[in-house]
Structures are given as C-alpha cells and as structure tokens.
Structure 1
C-alpha cells in the first residue's frame, strides 16, 4: 500500500507544507481521500465544488500561498470551474487535482465523461482560464507534473493550474524514487529585480514631476510588497490612487491615499490621476471599471500623462495605455531598490503638506456628505449606515470579504481598509457567491483574526450550503446579508435605462420576497439573526463577533445605488448620450 500513487501524492503534499485541501468526494478521487485519512493535511468537505474553489481562493489570498482543490470529474469539475476562473482572473495561485475517467476506457464514453468532441479530454474545459492543464498519462509522470504545477501556479503572474488524473492511476503503484527526485528541485524561484540606474531614473522622474501619482493594484499584495510601497509613499509624499483590487494596499488612513478610481471612484480622485503628469503604476492591469472604460474624458489621459509601469507579467505592460518606461520585475524587490535609491538621493525625503491637506479635506467632505445616510434611522437601513457600523465594530486587521453589488462597489469607494490584504473581493470575474465561501478560507488561514462576509441576498442565495461546512468545521465567520430583495445593482441599471425591473427583483404574488435566511442558518446548525430595526444592527454584530462561532445576520437594506461620478461605457450602450447611471428601486 505504501507505494500507491494516492498515498505518495499525499506525502508529497505534506512535504510541500500543504495544511488544508478543499473539495468534494466522487468515485474518481476516493483513493486520495482514503490516503488523507492518516495525513496531517485537513480535508475540508464542502457541499458544492464552487464553494470549495472559493474557499481555496480566500485561503490562498489570506495565507499568501498556493491552495489545493480536490475535485471529481465531469459535474464536479464543471461545478468548480466558476470558482477556479474567479481565482484565475484575480491571479490567485491554486492547484486543482481532479479525478478523471479510467485510462483504459478511452473512446467508450464512461460514466460522467465530457466527450462530445474528444475522448479523455475533460481537462480541455479549463484551458481558457488556467495557466496550464495537464492530463496525467502514466503514474511515473505524476510527481514531475505536480512539481511543475506548483511552480507554474506560483511563478510570474500567479494563477490556477489543473492536474487531471485518471482514477486508475491513483490506485496504481509507482517507484517512490520518482517522488523522491522532486525533493531536489527548488521550491522557490528567484524573481527579477531592477538595477540602480533604472531606480534612479524613476525616482528622479517622479521628484522632478509637477503632479506625480502612484497608481497601485492587487499585484502589490500578490508580491507581498505593501510595506515597501508605503515606505516609498511616505518618503516621497506622493499621492496614491488605486484600483478595486488595490484597495487597502496602502492603508486608507495614510494621509496620501486618494482612493479608488474609475466608475465607482469620486470625481476628485479621477481628476487627480487624469491631471497627473507622471504616474508610477504598480501591479495593475488598468481594468475597465477602474479606468472608466478607458475613455480619456473621465480618468486616465495617457500618453498625455506619462506612465512608468512595473509588473511581473510583461503582457500587462502597455496592455491598455502606452508606457514611457516599462519594467518587468517582482514588486517587492523593485520597491526595495527604489526605497534604497530614494533615500540615497533624498536622505530627508520630501514634504508635501499641500497634497496632504487637500486629500484630508476631500475625505472630510465626503464623510460629511455621507453623514445624513450614516445617521439615518430608517428601516430598511441605508447601505452607508451598514458599512459605517461594520467598520466601527471590526478590528483593524479583520478579514472582510465582499461579493457583488453595494458590498463590493460601496466598500471599494467608502469603507476604510487598514491592513493590507485584509479585503478579499472578486475583482476580475465579479462572481456572486465568492464572499461567503472565501471568508471561510480566510478564517481557516488565520483562526485568530475576525472574518466577516459582506454579501447581498442574491449572492448569499447562490450557495447557502457554505453554512454546512461552517457548522461541521466550526469556522466562526459572521455573514452580514445586506438584503435588498433584489439583484440590486442590475435592478438599478434596468430601472434607470429601461423603466422596468423584470427579472431583477425578488417577488412573490407581487410583493417583495426573501427567504428567511436566519431560519435557513438555524436549519444548518448556525445561529441566525434577523434585524428588525436600524438600532439592532450594531449590537447584534458586536455580539456575533464576540460569540466566536458561525453567525448569519440578515439586515434589510434600501436599494439605493452606489453614488458615482465615474463612467462605464455600458451606460452609453443602454442610453446613448443621456448620461444616465442607476436608479433607486425602493
């Protein structure tokens, strides 16, 4: 038994330091599950493969290491696909190990095989979004493929990979020497940095510029370079704007943080990056929503604004805007060099009290403008009040996961994040159902930190079976369901542009409808709280966090749109030349 592929695979994962595997059983992977029974690795059993993938995603983001998913073939693999694609678009390292049809049944269309166009080709389903998909053709090849899989998932622009293993291979024997050989391979690649000459050019350019700005994205977190970035920001006193994925990369209470750009960005922030003469862009791909559909009227005006861009992935440099200086480098190493050179050239740093005062005034004014909503005692609650009270209750380093809607767009715009990497949000794919499961993964990664999932009723309804895993594993996450009885953001769009809300509001017999989420939680063995007044919410959240157990809080919320001064080209597609955004549906 000791030489079975399944047992040697588990030992390999143990030796790589894997502590958790997320997944769901099937007849193709129970050999691996059996091997895990006596392993130090904890198998996290889920009720849906999408939950497993999102949990692994949240775990990888929080832990800053590659997560592992174990899947069945066919429907198991397709169920997991959405979660894996979400990780792919946000550059999250993940190794998906999937059982496959028996290798000796090629061409016979065995049970659950996806084979309308080719035999033994389920791995092809993942090709559009994983960095690579392998199908293991022989037992002796698995060790080398696993080593390559982890290396590829973690190197360059990180992301998921798939290793599809015919189920009979898991149950075969293989010479341990094949796995032993992989121990001699490095587990961490050295990444490129920048030279002093390039660093001096960047620092001199920024300090000689009249209106320089840092523009940062989630790549800074992936590179674990937040500390180095804030050090450079403070030394040079240069304002920082960020993408949605760059939220919290520099803490929001740093005096030089402008905020999020793009459609949900404020006019002041968009104007600052639009008017910049030089921008140093770090770890961002300049995505559409962050850049007002790349239309010069609203956010960025490159090449009038000169761009210096540093990224580990050369395909991201100049993807959407021309750059004056493009540099392929690891951001942590590059920023380390930039800090050293900046201190050599400018030992005392630069003071920019004018910029600091201007930014402080903007944030103060924005807070004042929100005051009416924050202090509103109406019920259903104002979304601004919900976010304000969540922030007041949470410790600085709490994990906050968002989903899609007010809980993502509003959080990006007006919810302060104080600990880099503590906000987990589905950026590229914007997947409903991400947040509730990702919070479980983050809490498993750091059991001593608070984890709260801010999620809409539409998003939570995607996969409430997360509660089964929370109950079974006793993972103390708090879910705050911002319940507007709708797919609220889409309802607001449809109402504003087409005058209807068909298919976007939840109704029963013409009246607003919502499942009793608190009762559903209790059915899973999780505490459920239904808020009935605005005054109840904050004390209920405080109590839920102190309880240190899984809790669902269902709070009714007005479906008012997230305020925005930005632009998204879909508005022009819906209503050409009308400058229409969203409408409230209450």
Structure 2
C-alpha cells in the first residue's frame, strides 16, 4: 500500500514541509484523500473549488510558501480556474494537483473527459495562465514531475503550475527509490543578484538626479525585500510611490511614502511621478490602472523622465516604457548590494527635509478633505467612515483582504497599511470573489494575527458557501460586507456615461434588494451582525475581533464613487472628448 503513488505523493509533500492542502473531493482524487488520513498535512475542505483556489492564494501570500490545491477533473478543474488564474496574474506560487480520466480510457469519452480537440486534454484548459501544465502518462515519471512542478512554481517570476494525474496512476505502485532520489535535489534555488558595476551605476545616477523617485510593485513583497527597500529609502531619502500591489512595501506612515499612483492615485502623487527626472522601478509591471493607461499627461512621462528597472522577469523590463538601465535580479539580493554600495558612496546618507515637509502637508490636507465623510453620521454609512473606523480598531499588524470596487480602490488610496505583506488584494485579474475566501487562507497561515476581509455585497455574494468551511474549521475571520445593494463601481460608471444602471443594481419590485447576509451567516453556524446605524459599526467590529470567532458584519453603505484625479482610458472609450468619471448611484 505504501508503494502506491497516492501514498508516496503525501510523503513527498510532508517532506517538502507542506502543512495544508486546499480542495474538494471527486472520484478521481479520493485515493489521495485516503492517503492524507494519517498525515501531518491538514486537508481543508470547501463547498466550491473557486473558494479553495482563493484560499490557497491567500495562504501562499501570507505563509510565503507554495500552496497546494487538490482538484477533481473536469468541472472541479474549471471551477478552480478563476482562482488559479488570479494567482497567476499576481505571481503567487501554487501547485495544482488534479485528478484526470483513467489513462486506459483516453478518447473513449469516460465520465467527465474533456476531449473535443484531443484525447484527455483537460490540462490544456490551464495552459493560457499557468507556468506549465503536465499530464502524467506513466507512474515512474510522476516523482520527477512533482519536483519540477514545485521548482518552476517557486523560481523566477513565481506562479501556479498544473499536474493532471489520471486516477488510475494515483493507485499504481512505483519504486520508492524514484522519490528518494529527489532528496538529493535542492529544494531552494539561489537567486540572481546584480554586479558591483551595475549597482554603482544605479546609486550614482540616483544620487546625482534632481528629482529621483522609487516606484515599487508587488515584486518587493514576493521577494520579501521590504526591509531592504526601507533601508535604501532611509539612507537616500528618496520618495516612494507604489502600484496597487506594492501598497505596504514601505509603511504608509513613513515620511517618504507618497502613495498609490494612477487612476485612483491623487494629483499630488501623480504629479510627483511626472516631475521625476529618474524613476527607479522595482518589481512592477506598470499596470494600466496604476499608470493612467500609459498616457503621459497623467502619471508617468517617459521620456523626458528616465527609467531604471529591476525585475526577476526579463519580459517586464521595458514592456511599457523605455529603460535606461535594466537588470534581471531577485529584488532582495539586488537591494542588499545596492544598500552596501549606497553606504560606500554616500556614507552619511542624504537628507531631504523640504520634501519630507511637503509630503506631511499633503497628507494633512488629504485627511482634511475626507474629514466631512469620516465624521458623517448618515446611514447607510459613508465608505470613508467605514475605512477610518476599521483602521482605528485593527492592530497595526492585522491582515486585510480586499475584493474589488470601493474596498479595493478606496483602501489603496485611503487606508494606511503599516506592515509589508499585510494587505491581500486581487491585482492583475481583479477577481470579484477573491477577498472573502482569501481571508480564510490568510488566517490559516497566520492563526495568531487578526484577519479582516473588506468586501462588497457583490463580491461576498459570489461564494457565500465559504462560511461552511469557516464554521467547520472554526476559522476566526471577520468579514465586513460594504453593502451598497449593487455592483457599485460599475453602476457609477454606467450611470455617468450612459445614463442608466441596467444590470448593475440589485432590486426587487423597483426597490433596493439585498440578501440578509447576517441571517445567511447564522444559517451556516457563523455569527452574523446587521448594522442598523452608523454608531453601531465600530463597537460591533471590536466585539467581533475580541470574540475570536468567524463573524459576518453586514453594513449598508452609500454608493459614492472613490474620488480620483487620475485617468483610465476606458473613460474616453465611453465618452470621447468628455471629462467624465463615475457618479453616485
């Protein structure tokens, strides 16, 4: 029995240090589930595979290790696809192990086979977004494929891979020596750095620049390089702007943190980027919303601004803007060298008191502009007040997950993050439905931290069955449903440009409609709180956190758009030659 692939797979995962597997059963993978029965690995059961994929994604981000997802074939694999694609576009390492049709029935159209264009071709469904998809055709190849899968998921630009395993192969014997041989292979590759000459050239360029600026993305967090980045900022006093995914890389209370750029950035931040003579970009792909659709009048203006760029992925360097100095390197390694060189070339460091005061004044002014919303007692609540009170209640090292809409865009713009990696947001794929299950994965990865999910009613409504897993496993996450009875951001867009809200508002008989999410939570065995007045929200959140139980807080929110002075070209597509953004609905 112990020579079966299923049992040896579990042992292999144990030896790799895997502690949790997320997934859902099916007739193709129960051999693996059986092998997990006496394992140190905990199987986390869900009611829908998309939930398990987002949980695995959140877990990988917080645990800082590759997540493992176990899926059934066909519909199980396609249900998980959205979550796996989200992980792929945010460069999150994940190994997806999926059951497949029996190898001896390829092409006969056995139960749930995908074979319209090729026999046993379900693995091809994932090809557009995973780093690689394997179909295991022989049991003796399986050990080597698993080793390659983890190595590829974790190396270079990280991301998900798929290993599709015919169910009969899980139940076949294989020589344990094939797995034991893998013990001689390193489980962690040494990562590339930059050479002394390049580091010196970059530091000299920054020191001699008139208005240098650091622009950082999620790559800093993936490389676990926030401490090294902070060291460079402290030494050279260079301001830091960031993408949505780079939020928190340098604490929002650091005197040289500017904030998020682009469409949801402020004019002050975008202008600082435009005025820079040199921008040093670290671990960012200059995504469209962060870069104001790459139109030079709004955020980045290359040239005349000159660009220095370091990324682990060579295809990102120069993708959207011309680069003067480009280097392929792991950011933690590269920043270690850059810090050493900076201290050699400028032993006393640099001071920039004038800019520090300018940033402090801007923050004060921005806070003041929001004050009328923060202190507004109206109900439904102002979104700014919700965010302000959440920040007041949460410890600085709490983990926050967002979804899409106000909770993502408003948090990026207005919600201070103090610890690197403590905000989880769906960046590249902007997946509605990510935030609520990702919070479960984050809490499993860091059980001693407070984890709160800020999510819209549209996002939470995607997969409320995640509450079953929360109840079964007693995972004490607090979900704050910012409920505007709509797909609010899209409603504001449609109303502003087309004068209608068809398909974006939730209504019954012409009146606003929402499920009673507090009651739904209670039906799942989770505490549910429905807020009825603005002053109830903050104490309810405090009690929810102190309870150390899973809690859903359903709070009605005004559907006001996130204020923005940035640009996104979709506005010009909707309304050419007009300066129209969103409106309140």
* Shared fold (TM-score, shorter chain, > 0.5): yes
Number of the residue aligned with 1:53: 53
Q: How far 1:474 sits from its partner (Å)?
A: 0.4
Number of the residue aligned with 1:389: 389
User: SS in structure 2 opposite 1:281?
Assistant: strand
Q: How far 1:303 sits from its partner (Å)?
A: 2.2
Number of the residue aligned with 1:303: 303
Alignment of 1:420-435 (within 5 A): 420-435=420-435
Number of the residue aligned with 2:576: 576
Whole-Å Cα distance in 1 between the matches of residues 161 and 583 of structure 2?
A: 41
Q: How far 1:240 sits from its partner (Å)?
A: 0.2
Is 1:62 aligned with 2:62? Answer: yes
Number of the residue aligned with 2:133: 133
Whole-Å Cα distance in 1 between the matches of residues 103 and 115 of structure 2?
A: 14
Whole-Å Cα distance in 2 between the matches of residues 31 and 304 of structure 1?
A: 61
Q: How far 1:19 sits from its partner (Å)?
A: 0.1
Alignment of 1:446-465 (within 5 A): 446-465=446-465
CA deviations on 1:24-72 (whole Å, 9 max, x unpaired) are 0000000000000010000000000000000000000001110000000
Whole-Å Cα distance in 2 between the matches of residues 10 and 308 of structure 1?
A: 45
Number of the residue aligned with 1:288: 288
Number of the residue aligned with 1:328: 328
Whole-Å Cα distance in 2 between the matches of residues 230 and 107 of structure 1?
A: 56
Alignment of 1:27-106 (within 5 A): 27-106=27-106
Whole-Å Cα distance in 2 between the matches of residues 209 and 268 of structure 1?
A: 20
User: SS in structure 2 opposite 1:186?
Assistant: coil
Number of the residue aligned with 1:317: 317
CA deviations on 1:113-154 (whole Å, 9 max, x unpaired) are 111111111000000000000000100111000000000000
Number of the residue aligned with 2:496: 496
Whole-Å Cα distance in 2 between the matches of residues 101 and 569 of structure 1?
A: 45
Aligned residues: 585
Whole-Å Cα distance in 1 between the matches of residues 552 and 468 of structure 2?
A: 12
Whole-Å Cα distance in 2 between the matches of residues 113 and 498 of structure 1?
A: 44
Q: How far 1:276 sits from its partner (Å)?
A: 0.3
Whole-Å Cα distance in 2 between the matches of residues 190 and 4 of structure 1?
A: 33
Number of the residue aligned with 2:341: 341
Whole-Å Cα distance in 1 between the matches of residues 495 and 298 of structure 2?
A: 24
Is 1:18 aligned with 2:22? Answer: no
Moved more, 109-118 or 87-96: 109-118
Number of the residue aligned with 2:177: 177
Number of the residue aligned with 1:364: 364
Number of the residue aligned with 1:373: 373
CA deviations on 1:335-383 (whole Å, 9 max, x unpaired) are 0011111111111111110110001111110000000000000000000
User: SS in structure 2 opposite 1:134?
Assistant: strand
Whole-Å Cα distance in 2 between the matches of residues 106 and 258 of structure 1?
A: 57
Number of the residue aligned with 2:509: 509
Q: How far 1:476 sits from its partner (Å)?
A: 0.2
Whole-Å Cα distance in 2 between the matches of residues 196 and 560 of structure 1?
A: 51
1:303–1:323 contact (8 Å) kept in structure 2: no
Number of the residue aligned with 2:474: 474
User: SS in structure 1 opposite 2:172?
Assistant: coil
Q: Which runs of 4+ in 1 moved over 3 A?
A: none
CA deviations on 1:408-432 (whole Å, 9 max, x unpaired) are 0000000000000000000000001
Q: How far 1:322 sits from its partner (Å)?
A: 0.5
User: SS in structure 2 opposite 1:183?
Assistant: helix
Whole-Å Cα distance in 1 between the matches of residues 437 and 197 of structure 2?
A: 46
Number of the residue aligned with 1:273: 273
User: SS in structure 2 opposite 1:554?
Assistant: strand
Whole-Å Cα distance in 2 between the matches of residues 348 and 446 of structure 1?
A: 39
Whole-Å Cα distance in 1 between the matches of residues 523 and 397 of structure 2?
A: 31
Q: How far 1:525 sits from its partner (Å)?
A: 0.2
Is 1:199 aligned with 2:204? Answer: no
Alignment of 1:91-240 (within 5 A): 91-240=91-240
User: SS in structure 1 opposite 2:162?
Assistant: strand
User: SS in structure 1 opposite 2:184?
Assistant: coil
User: SS in structure 2 opposite 1:54?
Assistant: helix
User: SS in structure 2 opposite 1:343?
Assistant: helix
Whole-Å Cα distance in 1 between the matches of residues 440 and 206 of structure 2?
A: 42
CA deviations on 1:221-245 (whole Å, 9 max, x unpaired) are 0000000001100100000000000
Whole-Å Cα distance in 2 between the matches of residues 2 and 62 of structure 1?
A: 33
Number of the residue aligned with 1:402: 402
User: SS in structure 1 opposite 2:17?
Assistant: coil
Whole-Å Cα distance in 2 between the matches of residues 466 and 178 of structure 1?
A: 38
Whole-Å Cα distance in 2 between the matches of residues 263 and 513 of structure 1?
A: 30
Whole-Å Cα distance in 2 between the matches of residues 497 and 159 of structure 1?
A: 37
Q: How far 1:195 sits from its partner (Å)?
A: 1.3
Number of the residue aligned with 1:260: 260
Whole-Å Cα distance in 2 between the matches of residues 55 and 10 of structure 1?
A: 20
1:262–1:292 contact (8 Å) kept in structure 2: yes
Q: How far 1:319 sits from its partner (Å)?
A: 0.5
User: SS in structure 2 opposite 1:164?
Assistant: strand
